[in-house]
Chains A and B, each alone.
Chain A
Amino acid sequence: MNIAVLLKQVPDTTAKITISNGKVDENSVSKWSMSPYDEYALESGLKMKEATGGNLIAITCGPERTKKMLTDAAAVGADTLIHISEDKVLDSTQVQNLLATVINNNEIEVVLCGKQAADTNAGSTGPGVAEILDAACVTMVSEVSFSENSFISVRPSNTGTEKVSTSGISVFTFDKGLSELRRPNVRGIMMAKKKVIETIKPEELGLGEDSDRIILQTQDSPAEKEPGQIFEGVGEIPTIVSKLRNEANVI
């Protein structure tokens, strides 16, 4: 079975984001990492590969720096690495079309990705790719397994969680799972360094250029909150409660 995991590289969650001239300065990002939920998608892909004897294909779309993340995925066990090399910022439709085309070209039966990426916090890619592939889609899953020709996943429900099944090609977006994430060992790291990364240019995928439908006007630092009032000890609690009641109107 060919299993795809979609990985996005984002500024590490601890990295400072600096704005200069109305734009985020990517060069000042101190550390780039795999988006946190994608790590759970990758872990689940590794488990599924081990259980089914399948082939795990890690796919990313982004600039040159994202190759490092693919090598990291290989170090824990990804078999095939595909880099769609694109420096421009793409809109949601463009990214989904590129990813879906590569998925189609590789005869993939299941696609795993994060429920949302830590840069956009969107959650658009998994469901959008599913629609383009005409695949079933289950979002925010914590685990997925394959048995008797169907995929069994666990997702949140109104009353707790529920086990659902899908058959045929399926897309799963991952929430934080129960499983521990594995860390690479020395042998894995050495092997990964030798692994070939297949690089594809968007033009080679035969997708027409979209006109610019989303125009970035400006990026800013979040609106600064007025500095709060900090009180030593518990003496001012009655004042705080009365302000929350009478000025803020929140209780």
Chain B
Amino acid sequence: MRFTIIAEMNGDLLHPTTYQLIGAISEIGSESIVICPNGKGSSEASKIKGVEKIISVNGDCFDLFDGSAWASAINSVCEGTIVASASPNGREIGSIIAAKRKIPIIQDVTAISSGITVTRPIYSGKATETLKINGDSVITLRPNAFESAEVGNDAPISIVDQTSDVRVAVIEAINKASERLDVTEADIIISGGRGMGSIDNFSHLESMADTLGAAVGASRAVVDEWGMPHRMQVGQTGKTVSPSLYIAVGISGAIQHLAGMRSSKYIVAINKDPDAPIFTVADYGIVASWEEALPILKSELMKLS
């Protein structure tokens, strides 16, 4: 069985999930071909264990994001089962490649076994399903659900030039987002809800996020009612995240919020209501007001560094 992995990029570097994609396929006993769009990251990828060879696909079509142009260029060198990150771009490119090859796509896989059988969450994490796939397919893997492959390899790199039609033109870049880490990128997220009292109080979360190198997230109540940017929203109609640590402050834990964060590895909740549903998913719950809890939490964290 052949596997082709589409490397996920973070600027000019490989995104950490690329190591996880390679790790997941090694775990089921296969080597993979890794495609590096625009050649970026190919020498880094060639050093990862489990990589058979790298194909660096170069072309102008990678200058801006047009999923169908990227998919056309990448598709030309894919074979077998195609694996990408379940990031927004990975999902889009994967879907288009699947449609080109007339093969099914299974998104957001959280477990895989040889053969191949995959597991994915459905109904926003209220259930999971296990599927057996016959023949080739495209699968996208959920970030942070798989162990990373290690470094220690020197796989050959080949270069392929491709052109494809770009049909999307950027006419205006609108606002600059803050320098803060995006919630989908972060390994630690501190989210605030209506219990924070006002948008100004988010500065307390931001300063703690800076101490931890974390991203700041928000519940929908805060986004809708206080005008917090929607990209910070975690949940059903916001981002789905699975960081190592999720700290929920003044968030009740409505089912739609849980849908976006319940697969986090560790969850800490601070809420003054002992019956808040967020405590049903928390590994550690602190029943207290944030005014009382955050200063202590922050000073304990400061002691570590």
A residues at B contact (CB < 8 Å): 10-11, 13-14, 16-17, 19, 24, 36-37, 91-93, 96, 116, 118-132, 136-140, 142, 152, 154, 156-157, 159-168, 175-176, 211-223, 225-226, 228-234, 236-238, 240-241, 243-245, 248, 250-251
A213 near B133 (CB under 8 angstroms)?
A: yes
Tell me the B253-305 residues at the A interface (CB within 8 Å): 255-256, 259, 262, 265-268, 274, 279, 281-288, 292-293, 296-297, 300-301, 304
With known contacts A230-B285, A251-B245, A93–B274 Cβ distance under 8 A = no
Which residues on B sit within 8 Å (CB–CB) of A154?
174
Least CB distance from B122 to A in Å reads 6
A-B contact pairs, 30 of them (CB 8 A): A13-B259, A17-B126, A24-B127, A93-B99, A123-B91, A126-B95, A128-B96, A136-B66, A137-B96, A160-B176, A160-B177, A167-B167, A211-B134, A213-B133, A214-B104, A215-B131, A215-B134, A217-B131, A218-B130, A221-B126, A226-B283, A228-B282, A229-B284, A233-B288, A234-B293, A237-B296, A240-B268, A240-B286, A241-B301, A248-B245
Tell yes or no: B188 within 8 A of A by CB: yes
B274 near A232 (CB under 8 angstroms)?
A: yes
Excluding A139-B92, A163-B172, A234-B292, 15 further A-B contacts by CB distance (< 8 Å) are A19-B127, A92-B106, A120-B107, A124-B91, A137-B96, A138-B168, A139-B67, A166-B167, A228-B282, A230-B284, A230-B287, A231-B286, A237-B296, A244-B284, A251-B304
A156 to B96, CA, bound (A): 19
Partner among A24, A124, A234, A248 whose Cβ is within 8 Å of the Cβ of B288:
A234
Interface size on B, residues (CB 8 A): 85
Least CB distance from B252 to A in Å reads 14
Q: Is the interface of B mostly helix, strand, loop or mixed?
A: mixed
A-B contacts counted at CB < 8 A amount to: 261
Partner among A19, A123, A237 whose Cβ is within 8 Å of the Cβ of B95:
A123
A162 near B255 (CB under 8 angstroms)?
A: no
Most buried by A among B71, B102, B174: B174
Least CB distance from A244 to B in Å reads 7
A65 to B125, CA, bound (A): 24
B130 near A213 (CB under 8 angstroms)?
A: no
A250 to B283, CA, bound (A): 13
A91 to B105, CA, bound (A): 8
A232 near B287 (CB under 8 angstroms)?
A: yes
Nearest CB in chain A to that of B102: its residue: A93
Least CB distance from A182 to B in Å reads 17
A36 to B103, CA, bound (A): 27
With known contacts A93-B102, A122-B107, A241-B300, A217–B130 Cβ distance under 8 A = yes
Least CB distance from B38 to A in Å reads 14
Least CB distance from A103 to B in Å reads 14
A218 near B96 (CB under 8 angstroms)?
A: no
A222 to B264, CA, bound (A): 13
A118 near B67 (CB under 8 angstroms)?
A: no
Partner among B105, B132, B279, B301 whose Cβ is within 8 Å of the Cβ of A92:
B105
With known contacts A162-B174, A222-B125, A241-B301, A250–B236 Cβ distance under 8 A = no
Q: Give me the 4 closest cross-chain CB pairs, A-B, nearest first.
A: A230-B285, A131-B99, A127-B95, A136-B167
A88 to B31, CA, bound (A): 36
Tell yes or no: B8 within 8 A of A by CB: no
| Contact digits for B92-133, partner A, Cβ 8 Å, 1 yes 0 no | 101110111011111110000000010001111111111111
With known contacts A160-B175, A163-B171, A121–B126 Cβ distance under 8 A = no
Least CB distance from A217 to B in Å reads 5
With known contacts A137-B92, A213-B135, A162–B170 Cβ distance under 8 A = yes
Partner among A219, A229, A238, A244 whose Cβ is within 8 Å of the Cβ of B129:
A219
A220 near B288 (CB under 8 angstroms)?
A: no
